[in-house]
Structure formats: structure tokens, C-alpha cells
Amino acid sequence: MTPAAATFPALKVLSRPDPWRGGVVLAALLLALPVLVVFSFVFAPAGEVWLHLKQTVLQEYITNSLVLLLGVGVGVLAIGIPAAWMVSLCEFPGRRLFEWGLLLPMAMPAYIIAYTYTGMLDFAGPVQTQLRDWFGWGYGDYWFPDVRSLPGAVTMLSLVQYPYVYLLSRAAFLEQSICVLEVSRTLGTGPWAGFARVALPLARPAIITGLSLALMETLADYGTVQYFGLATFTTGIFRTWFGLGDPAAAAQLSAVLMSFVFVLILLERWSRRRARFHHTSTRYSHLPRYQLRGWRRIGAIVGCSIPVLFGFLLPALQLGAWAVDTVDAWLKADFFHLVANSLMLAAITAVLAVALALLMAYGRRLRSSRPVDLAVRVASMGYAVPGTVIAVGVILPFAWLDNTLDAFMRAQFDISTGLILSGTLVALVFAYCVRFLAVSLNTVEAGLGKIKPSMDDAARCLGLAPRRVLREVHMPIMRGSLLTALLLVFVDVLKELPATLILRPFNFNTLAVRTFELASDERLADSASAALAIVLAGIVPVILLSRTIGRSRPGHDQTVC
Amino acid sequence: MTKLLDVENIDVGYGNHTVVFDAALHLTKGAIGVLLGPSGCGKTTLLRAIAGFEPVQSGRILLAGDEVSRPGWTLPPEKRQVGMVFQDFALFPHLTVADNIAFGIRRWPSDKRAARVQELLQLVGLPQYGKNYPHALSGGQQQRVALARALAPKPRLLLLDEPFSSMDVELRESLAREVRTILKHEGITGLMVTHDQFEAFAIADRIAVMHGGRILQWDTAYNLYHQPADRQVADFIGQGVLLQGMVVGETMVETPLGPIAGKVPEGCRKGCPVDVLIRPDDLMLDPASALQAEVVDKAFRGAVFLYTLRLPSGATVLCQAPSHHDHAIGERVGLRPDFDHLAVFPRRE
């Protein structure tokens, strides 16, 4: 090879901008902006408010957040792992029902379950009223646990976040080669010992992944802790910004919160990497389940019922009852307006997030290289970043841009442009894209990965440029994945609370915001219809999920044409 | 005859890693070539460079006289008018057979397009399958659709990447022959990649034997078999053994089978140690022959037996004999060399 030939490819990259590589990197930089902005405040000089926070509440934020993490961690493991083990490796009546039923609490946003239980269990609620009726107690005669407390928050969050652990450990149990389990049985381990000594260690990376996802959600939670009056990072960021009026200190708090998140991201990445080395054998066959009899069978049924009952059925019924009670009120009120707002936001974001995911996934397929891969990974980090932090990271640069533009236009043309970005839906939709790109990207990448590279080659030999290959070959083939991605983002946007609270334009309400506002005003029954709408929408991805995991076991499916 | 494809001494690779070295070959219009070699020899990479999927590091590729690849510049595949048939067929699952075939001729007027699709369905013997979806077809039928789809836009050159490797072994040769008939009928120049020499023999006008990223010989099947350029080609193509010999005259080599006349490699003078390639069909059983050998092994091949024989010198040779010459293992048989050509290689130290 001549030296000239060796330098040519490098020249080509420099001289001709590549739209795919450029597009991916540019989009990734844009999506990483909020996190980068928040982190830039780590190096900002500590202001008066920050010093004040440090002296007074920072300690409490950290303690509360750690206790919350620890409690929810124990809670989701205690519910998720046994449930996953029972439905995937044992046989008992109702097992198939529990298989997807155990996913239902995913449809229940934490803030909704929190105030539903508050309404059910407070002094005037149905439970205490019934108890007083039965035992003839009066006010002050008895002790009843207060839901609005740290243990209450731990319980609420555990009830709706255990499905992460359940889902991933169930998948891990199903993927375990039956050979390994059978070998362990021929070596004299019974079902319980087999679980403890073989299945559990093999599934550990998956369980840790699920745990870290649940803990990320716990850190991101704003609605529950705010409603329960607990001082954590997310509520602190709100208070610092809107109460003390100091965005810089809020960003600094966000940066501290992000350091917690990064520990979880590292934990997740580390466990996912380890998971690859844990499959020694690739032979799968139908899993012979342990037949449960007698008290074990009853134990399994009761054990699987509790999380479904308390995590979904009871609160959903309560919401339904309240919604029926207040039917006239919400039919008259702005309910349909709220629905329209929510649907519009969700639809716009879903389309945008899927389009971005297609750009990223296809760009990576065409131009896999270290910068492109890194860009895609950075862009999909948003799922771990709490909505509050993203909101802070969005509004700071957007407001600066708006003010700069406004000042410039005033000075030059005597026109005030006002807030083009930060005060409008643009900021909100952008924040949603940052937060939920990973959701669409995962689905789109999985769909694209199933299309063999020879399809691309064949289409190009038949005269199609890469962009048209995407449109005429890939998109029709992966229609199902695209639809799933749209739906998942759509529902996540419907449920999102903290970023919406901060970034929504003045007087613009969504279902989630209205639910939270009404609940905060102790008008629980009035908020039930909006909450119920969110919960019902949340069931859609649960159904999708249960269908995919049912088919995901190697050896059971796969006729990808 | 005009050169349709001209590959001029190209290097191809990924990053700093070169896979194909100094490859050169050309095809005249309507000819069919084959890249033959074991897996990992670079044959598919060379094919993908010709299709435009991989850039060349040096040298250049010309299609019908136009430069399509040179270092630093590659005409994208969609602009080359080169058809390709893939190992896994790569039929579009969301389109019917007819729509798959019509994919490359979307811009044709619809009546001409429909006529072309029908014509190709006829040609590949699937006239009534236009409305089916690919997943409803057998592997062989999918293969034909893939061929029809690649042929539809009348490409200047058709590339075939191990198109028969997922077929039953018995089918491969007849499919290759069928594809040859179709290509010749359409007057299309073809280049196929395979590791199966019988497939290559069945389809090719010329074959490039590749090894370690290099083309060892670019020749007809007959010449590859009888006059291999070096011992790697001799080893890869057909069966046979190398017998040690010595040059005894300008056109004479002394071997354990006796003196044999033939061309001696350049630079080999009298007394030079050489290896002589003996094919199973170079030897005949002849009870009258003075040269006796012992049957060590035998394999029944239907019409013929393939005998492994031990010569008095201790060397073993292969001999193919009509199957009515049935000899037991251990038996002694008479042997007569019957050479048209002599392939002689300098002895490797």
C-alpha cells in the first residue's frame, strides 16, 4: 500500500461531512445537554443558599434518600425474587394468571398509589371507619400506622417497583439452561437448595440490574415523597428553586443527586456485563416445573396474590369507587381538556422519540465506530436521570437562550420575542425526549437487530440509497417494534410528573399534573378519574411486556423471517 | 472481447487489517467466473469490494471500462448496476414474491414491469408463485426468487455469494448448472463465491483459487485440475498425491512409477529434486504391467473404485478404476501410468 492510499480514507472523513455520523453525534450532544449543564454546576462557586442548604438540610436529604434506597431495595428483592421463582419454576393453580398479573403494579405510578392509600387508611377512610365500627373505638383510643411517613413511602415505592426485579429475574430463571438445573438435581440438590445454590447465583446479575432500575426510579420519585412531606433530593431541588429562588443551588443539588444515580448506572452496567459470562450451556428444553402440593401450593397462591392485590387491585378499586362517586363533577369539569392535552403531548413526544431512536439506531448500523457508539450510549443515559434534574438542566440553558435572544431582538429591532423555548411545550417535549429516548431506542434497536445485514445489502444492490432502504425495507419489516416503541413512550409521558410540573407552560395542565394538584389539596376523590385514566393507559405496556417475555425464551419461538 | 469486469491488483481490508492482497482478475462480457477457496480466504471480501460494499486500499476496479473503486473513493453499490444473490437469500419478508422481484425495477412503467416479473417467474420455474410471501416457499424456491430479483433490473454483473450453501448437497450441482443456463440465456456476466469445487466446475468458465487472501490461479477448471500453478492449488482442487521425483532430462522426471515425460518447472535442472502430482485418473490398473502395487484401502464410488495403493518404494498413490475391477485389500495389482500432462513442483525444503 502506498502512503498516499493510506491517508485517503482519513481525508474523506474530513472533507465530506457524513450526514449519518454527524446527525447521530449532534442529536446525542443535544440530548446530553441537560445533564452536562447540571454537572457544570459542580464547579460553580458555592453560593449563599448552597452553604445554607449544606448547614441545614443536605444531611437530611442524604439520610432520607439513603434510607429510602435501602428500604425499597430490600422490599423489591423480597417481593420480586420469590414471585419470579414461583411463576417460572413451580406449578400451581393460577400460575399463568400471576405470570402477567404480577406486572400490573407497573401501571400504577407511585404518587397515585401513595395518595390512594392515604385516602384509604386515614382517620376518615374506609379502613379506620370500619375498625371503629367493629370494635367501638373512638378517636385517640387506638394506634394506627401513619402512611405518610418514611416507612410508608418505602412500602408504596416497593409495591410498584418490585416488577423490575420480578421481570428481570424471571427472564433470568427462564434463560437458565435446564441442563444446569438438572445436573444440580442429579448431584443431589432438591428444589429449595437448587434455588439457593444454582438458580439464584446464576440469576444474580439480572437481579442486580432489576434492583438498580428500581432504585433509579426511587431516586427519581418526586410525587410520593412530596405528598408524604419527606425531605429528599427531588423535593429539595423544587424547594430550592421555587421556594428559595436559587436555580444555581438547585442545579448543585441535582449534581449531588446525579452522583447517586451514577453509582446505580455503574452497578447496572457492571452486572449486565457479568451476565454474559453466566451462560455456560446453550441447550434449552421445556422447563419441568416443580409441582407444588398442600400448604406449599396455598403458600404460593397467597404469596403471589399479595403484591397484585396491594400493588394494583385494591388501589385501582378505590380509584374506581371514587371516580364513580365524582362522575358528575368530572364530566362537567375540564377532564376532557386534560385528556386532550396529555394525549397531544404524549403523541408528539412518542413520534419524536421514535424518530430520534431510528436515527440513532440506523446511524449506528451504518457507521458503527467508537464516536458513534459513544454518542448513542450517552444519548440513552436519560432513563437514569430523575425528571427533576432533567427539568433543571433544560430550563437553565433554554432560559438563557431566550433571554439572550430577547435582549438582542430588543436592542436591534425593538421587538420582544419573550420566552420562545423555556416557556412553551418545546422545553417540555425536549425534556421528555431526554428522559425517554432509551425506551424507544431499546425497542427500535432490538427490532433493527433482527433484520439481517444482507437485507441492507440486497436493497442497495437493487438501487436504493441508505435512507430509502430504511424507509422501504427496514421500517415496514419492523413495524411491530416501532409501534411498541411509540406506545411505551406514549404511556411513560402520560405518567411523568416532576418534569411536567416544572416545565409546563403557564396554565397548561395534564392528567398527571391535575391528579397531583388535586391530591395535594386533599381532594382525593376528585382526582380519581384522572388517576384512573393514567393507570388504565399504563396497563397497555404491561400487556405488551407480558407478551414479549412469554415469547422471549430461547428455543421456544423464533421464526424471524 | 471487451472486459466487463476488471479488477486491477486490489488490496481490501478493514481498518489496518488487510484481508485481500493484490487481487487481479477480469471477466469478458457474458463470462462466468468463480472465486473458490476455503472459508476465511478472503473470497467474500473480494466479492463485496466488487459490489461496492468495501473500499479498496490500493489498486482499482473497473466496470465496463468505468472506474468504480479506487483508494479513497468508492461508487456506492446502489449506483453500480451490479446484482447480488446472498447466502441467506435476503428476500424482503414484507413483500410478495412478485413485489420482491419488482423491487429493483420500481421506476419501470407498470406494464413493462409486470411483464418482466412474469418473464422471470417463468425463467426460474415459479410462474404461479407471484402472490405468495417468501416464508411460504421452500429454500430452493426462495433461492430462485432471489436470483430472479437480482436479474430483474438486467444488471451488468451478477454477484453470487455462496448461493447454494444452505441447499442439500445433492441439489447444489444441478442448481449451479441451472443458474449457468439462466445467466447464459440472459447474457449476464456472473461472479460466484463458493468453497465447493464441484459447484465451481458446474457453473464457471474461469475459476480463481484463493488462499490466505491471494488469488493463486485464475484459470479454467480443466487447467486447475491438470496444470495447477502450485502445490496449494493442487492440494485444494481434486484428489491426488505428490510423489517425490528427480529431474533426469530436460523433459524427463524419474519417479517411483518409473520415468515420466513432461514439462519441468523453470530453474530445475538435471538432478533437481521435485514433487510430481499424481491424480487418481492418471493411473490405470493393468494386470500385464510390470509395475506391481499393493491395495491398502478402497472406496466404492458407484461407477468406480478409488484404490489407495502402496508402491514398491513405499509411497502410496490413489488410483481410480472402473468398479468391475474389484480387488481385495492386500491384493497385488499391476499398475500403468497414463499421463496427458505432468504437474511438477520444485521440492520444498
pLDDT tens column, A236-284: 998 888 888 888 888 888 888 888 888 888 887 787 776 655 544 444 4
DSSP annotation of B104: G
Separation of alpha carbons B317 and B310, rounded Å: 7
ipTM of the complex: 0.83
Separation of alpha carbons A338 and A514, rounded Å: 8
Q: Does A9 touch chain B (CB under 8 A)?
A: yes
* Apex B178 CA angle, B173 and B184, nearest 5: 125
Q: Please tell me the least confidently modeled range out of A127-131, A509-513, B145-149.
A: A127-131
pLDDT value, residue A116: 92
Separation of alpha carbons A504 and B112, rounded Å: 57
Separation of alpha carbons A446 and A106, rounded Å: 22
Q: Does B212 touch chain A (CB under 8 A)?
A: no
Chain A residues with CB inside 8 Å of B55's CB?
A: 9
In a domain, A558, yes or no: no
Q: Does A15 touch chain B (CB under 8 A)?
A: no
Q: Does A458 touch chain B (CB under 8 A)?
A: yes
CB–CB of B58 and A1 under 8 A? yes
Q: Which domain holds residue A281?
A: 24-37+45-547
Separation of alpha carbons A352 and A374, rounded Å: 21
Give the residue on B whose Cα is nearest the Cα of A14: B72
Q: Amino acid identity, residue A27? A: A
Shortest distance between the Cα of B79 and any Cα of chain A, in A, equals 6
Chain B residues with CB inside 8 Å of A462's CB?
A: 78, 83, 103-104, 149-150, 153
Shortest distance between the Cα of A550 and any Cα of chain B, in A, equals 23
Sequence-ordered list of residues with C-beta below 8 angstroms from that of A233, at least 6 positions apart, any chain: A61, A65, A219, A253, A254, A256, A257, A260, A386, A388
Domain count, chain A: 1
Q: Does B57 touch chain A (CB under 8 A)?
A: yes
In a domain, A178, yes or no: yes
β pairing state of B17-28 and B66-70: unpaired
Task: Concatenate the DSSP letters of all residues of A320-386 into one string.
Answer: HHHHHHTHHHHHHTTHHHHHHHHHHHHHHHHHHHHHHHHHHHHHHHHS--HHHHHHHHHHGGGGGS-
pLDDT value, residue A56: 80
Give the residue on A whose Cα is nearest the Cα of B151: A462
In a domain, A74, yes or no: yes
* Apex A441 CA angle, A437 and A444, nearest 5: 145
Sequence-ordered list of residues with C-beta below 8 angstroms from that of A202, at least 6 positions apart, any chain: A172, A176, A180, A278
CB–CB of A461 and B94 under 8 A? no
pLDDT value, residue A556: 39
In a domain, A2, yes or no: no
In a domain, A4, yes or no: no
Task: Concatenate the DSSP letters of all residues of B106-156 into one string.
Answer: TTS-HHHHHHHHHHHHHHTT-TT-TTS-GGGS-HHHHHHHHHHHHHTT--S
Please name every residue paired with B254 in a beta bridge, in sequence order, or none if there are none: B246, B259
| Crossing angle (nearest 10°) for helices A19-40 and A425-449 | 130
pLDDT band at A179 (very low <50, low <70, confident <90, very high): low
Which is nearest to A394 in space by CA: A354, A424, A366? A424
pLDDT tens column, A132-152: 888 888 777 777 888 888 999
Residue B292 confidence (pLDDT) above 70: yes
Q: Does B84 touch chain A (CB under 8 A)?
A: yes
Q: Does A11 touch chain B (CB under 8 A)?
A: yes
For an interface test with A, the pick among B22, B78, B161 (most A C-beta atoms closer than 10 Å) comes out as B78
pLDDT band at B346 (very low <50, low <70, confident <90, very high): confident
In a domain, A269, yes or no: yes
β pairing state of B258-261 and B252-255: antiparallel
In a domain, A552, yes or no: no
Which is nearest to A203 in space by CA: A85, A64, A325, A120? A85
pLDDT band at A286 (very low <50, low <70, confident <90, very high): low
What is the domain-level CATH number for residue A144?
1.10.3720.10
Nearest to A464 among B78, B86, B155 (CB): B78
CB–CB of A455 and B90 under 8 A? yes
pTM, whole model, 2 decimals?
0.82
CB–CB of B104 and A462 under 8 A? yes
B15 alpha-carbon distance from chain centroid: 29
Separation of alpha carbons A24 and B175, rounded Å: 44
Q: Does domain B3-234 have CATH number 3.40.50.300?
A: yes
Q: Does B149 touch chain A (CB under 8 A)?
A: yes
Sequence-ordered list of residues with C-beta below 8 angstroms from that of A245, at least 6 positions apart, any chain: none
In a domain, A553, yes or no: no
DSSP annotation of B316: E
Give the residue on B whose Cα is nearest the Cα of A2: B58
CB–CB of B83 and A5 under 8 A? no
User: Which CATH architecture group holds B240-346?
Assistant: Beta Barrel (2.40)
- Cα B12 to Cα A503, B17, B30, B81, B159: the distances in Å are 53, 9, 26, 21, 17
Chain A residues with CB inside 8 Å of B134's CB?
A: 561
Residues 395-454 of A with CB under 8 A from B: 452, 454
Shortest distance between the Cα of B133 and any Cα of chain A, in A, equals 10
Shortest distance between the Cα of A413 and any Cα of chain B, in A, equals 49
Separation of alpha carbons A462 and B5, rounded Å: 19
The predicted model gives A408-431 an average pLDDT of 85
Compute the half-sphere exposure of residue A236: CA atoms within 13 Å on the CB side of its CA. 30
Please answer whether residues B22 and B29 qualify as being in contact, where contact means their C-beta atoms are separated by less than 8 angstroms: no
pLDDT band at A9 (very low <50, low <70, confident <90, very high): very low
Separation of alpha carbons B260 and B154, rounded Å: 51
Q: Does A14 touch chain B (CB under 8 A)?
A: no
The predicted model gives A349-358 an average pLDDT of 95
The full set of domain ranges for chain B reads 3-234, 240-346
A404-410: Cβ within 8 A, 24+ apart? none
pLDDT value, residue A333: 66
Please answer whether residues A285 and A555 qualify as being in contact, where contact means their C-beta atoms are separated by less than 8 angstroms: yes
Q: Does B198 touch chain A (CB under 8 A)?
A: no
Widest pairwise Cα distance in chain A: 97
- Write out the three cell numbers for B192: 460466484
- Residue contacts between A and B (CB atoms, under 8 Å): 80
- Write out the three cell numbers for B163: 448461493
pLDDT tens column, A411-421: 888 877 777 78
CB–CB of A461 and B150 under 8 A? yes
Question: Between A197 and B248, where is the model more confident?
Answer: B248
Q: Does A2 touch chain B (CB under 8 A)?
A: yes
Shortest distance between the Cα of B21 and any Cα of chain A, in A, equals 10
pLDDT band at A53 (very low <50, low <70, confident <90, very high): confident
CB–CB of B86 and A1 under 8 A? no
Give the phi and the psi of residue A219 in degrees, each rounded to 5. Answer: -65, -35
Task: Concatenate the DSSP letters of all residues of B203-251 into one string.
Answer: H-SEEEEEETTEEEEEE-HHHHHHS-SSHHHHHHSS--EEEEEEEEETT
CB–CB of A462 and B149 under 8 A? yes
